[in-house]
Amino acid sequence: MSHSLITTCWTIIGQHDQKSLTTDFDPLYHIDQYLQYFDLAPLSLPEHHSKNVLSINSLEPGFKNVSNDILYSLRHHIYTQTKLEKVEKWAEKLMRFCEIRYASLKKRTIKKCRTSSAAQLLILHLSSFLMDQSRSIDDLRYLNTVLKLLDLRWILNKKRLISNLSNSKELSSALFQFRIVLMTECILNQIDN
């Protein structure tokens, strides 16, 4: 995705009111370093709060136990650098699942989430977690998996990203799509240079 498209997406995001941008699971938090890379000014969003953080200790890492709340908690632990061993186990398991079950991922996720839009949001959130983990421990295997996930058109349709960002109906998914594209492009550019 070109620099100009990322800039266009960010301009559209900036036109939304603050309240609509603070959607569930905070797709626009912790992206300042990536925005900076593309010379984009961060938005002034309300202070990040982490009251939804669940305990990840009792759950066995794996796709069958994953949910948006768990992914949110795992991301929170990455940002706060806590429980990193447990986070790594989750990341490894989820990456392996996505790689091994790549061909049947859509079917399996829809079965788990019941609707295709919920399935898309879960995989986008999962991709976002894997990207955070990739950056956190400098392991590019996670980036590799996310790039493959982004090739699936039911997860990311780049041609429709701008229109999805303008539409408030499924803004959460569109914001996650933007977040992941921004992170992957930034990391790929950094590696290439």
164-173 contacts at long range (C-beta below 8 A, 24 or more positions apart): 165/9, 165/12, 165/13, 166/12, 168/16, 168/20, 170/117, 171/16, 171/20, 171/21, 171/23, 172/23, 172/24, 172/25, 172/27, 172/121, 173/117, 173/120, 173/121, 173/124
- Shortest Å distance, C-beta 136 to other proteins: 16
CA dist 124 and 175 (Å) reads: 10
CB closer to other proteins, 127 vs 172? 127
Amino acid at 44: S
Instruction: Pick between residue 39 and residue 192 the one whose CB is nearest to other proteins.
Output: 192
Residue list 83-102, contact with other proteins (CB under 8 A): 95-96, 99, 102
Q: How many residues of this chain bind other proteins (CB under 8 A)?
A: 17
Binding other proteins (rule: CB under 8 A), the pick from 53, 147, 152, 162 is 147
Does the footprint of other proteins cover residue 45 (CB under 8 A)? no
User: Minimum distance from CB of 70 to other proteins (Å)?
Assistant: 23
* Closer residue to other proteins, CB minimum distance, 1 or 118: 1
Q: Which residues contact 13 (CB under 8 A, 6 or more apart)?
A: 21, 28, 43, 165, 175, 178
φ, ψ for residue 157 (rounded to 5)? -115, 100
- Applying CB under 8 A, does 143 fall inside the site for other proteins? yes
- Identify residues 1-40 at the interface with other proteins (CB under 8 A): none
180 is a site residue for other proteins (CB under 8 A): no
DSSP labels, 125-175: HHHHHHHHHHHHHT-HHHHHHHHHHHTSTTT--GGGHHHHHH-STTHHHHH
Please tell me whether residue 108 binds other proteins under the rule CB under 8 A: no
Among 144, 152, 162, 170, binds other proteins (CB under 8 A): 144
Q: Is residue 192 close enough to count as binding other proteins by CB under 8 A?
A: yes
Please identify which residue in 18, 24, 140, 157 interacts with other proteins, judged by CB under 8 A.
140
| Contact set with other proteins (CB under 8 A) | 95-96, 99, 102-103, 139-141, 143-145, 147-148, 151, 188, 191-192
